[in-house]
Amino acid sequence: MDDFLGGPVRQSSSAYRLVLYRSDRADHVRPVGTDDAYRFLLPLEGELLVLRDGGRARLRPGTGGLLSPAARVRVVQHRPARALVMTIPAHEVDGRLHPEAALAADLDLSAGLGRVVADMVRAVGDEPLPEPQFDAACDRITELLCLVVAGGQRPPAPGHLAQVEAVVRRYVREHATDPGLTGAAMAQDLGWSLRQIQLALQRAGTTPRDLIREERLRVVRDRLRNPLDRDVTITDLAHATGFSSASALSHAFRRRYGVTPRDLRRLTASR
């Protein structure tokens, strides 16, 4: 398949892939892959012209684009160019963004959260990481990237709901393993009403319960991939991450990632 994956691989895992796209040729055309994954384009030098359904966007350093699996896209360069291209599993993006967001091009990555995302991608490209750390970094990049894209899709938030959402997400990351973590407990600790938190997360297409479960599952996945936790039983892992039982964890984990915790641990150990 003619795809951006033809570039030299900087980092890769079973979930994510980061390659350096580089071409010294002008008038070079590249179709984007049709597999079930998003592509995040981060130009480093030159200019990439993204063509889709009669529309176009010019990507230069300081901008970027997120292309969905459904997007029928070609990328044209009229002069030599370099870019980092991050392949992201579709399930990591779907649900966080509107389904029609097939092409989110010309994202501003020169300031604010966009610049944070660009800096993180470049840092991961420059620093070899063990697979669990690479996946953890890509998870965070994907989460922040979706916030950048969603900020361009949604109308300005009423009041301070956008700030509430950001604080709530950070709080959940820091307290995901607390067994008593709920939307109500979070609201009490943060000094907001539960309704404020619900409204803020509703803008992002989620709920307090779903956000807490998602973050707990990420913690479980990271620990299953960590050799230092290889002797921790699934039951102990479930209790340590706020699940009521090993069966509750296995059911939620399989729905989210398509494999059971035991299967993922076995696959990781066999590599």
Identify the pLDDT of residue 233. 95
Contact yes or no for 8/19 (Cβ under 8 A) = yes
Ranges of the chain whose pLDDT falls below 50: 1-3, 5-6, 26-29, 34, 101-102, 153-158
Identify the pLDDT of residue 3. 46
Question: CA 193: distance to chain centroid?
Answer: 28
Structural domains of the chain, count: 2
| Digit-coded pLDDT (tens) for 178-192 | 989 999 999 888 888
The number of residues in the chain equals 271
CATH of the domain at 230: 1.10.10.60
Among the residues of 67-190, which ranges form H helices? Answer: 90-93, 112-126, 131-153, 161-175, 183-190
Question: What is the pTM (predicted TM-score) of this model?
Answer: 0.60
188-196 contacts at long range (C-beta below 8 A, 24 or more positions apart): 192/164, 196/161, 196/164
42: helix, coil or strand?
strand
Please indicate, yes or no, whether residues 93 and 73 belong to a single structural domain of this protein.
yes
CATH of the domain at 15: 2.60.120.280
Identify the pLDDT of residue 1. 33
Identify the pLDDT of residue 53. 60
Please indicate, yes or no, whether residues 180 and 113 belong to a single structural domain of this protein.
no
Identify the pLDDT of residue 192. 83
Please indicate, yes or no, whether residues 101 and 180 belong to a single structural domain of this protein.
no
Please indicate, yes or no, whether residues 188 and 128 belong to a single structural domain of this protein.
no
Identify the pLDDT of residue 151. 67
Range of the domain at 57: 4-153
Identify the pLDDT of residue 260. 94
Please indicate, yes or no, whether residues 91 and 179 belong to a single structural domain of this protein.
no
Identify the pLDDT of residue 67. 83
Question: Which of 86, 118, 153 delimits the end of a domain?
Answer: 153
Take residue 130 and report the two structure tokens written for it.
């063990």
Q: Number of helices and strands (H, E) in the chain? A: 10, 10
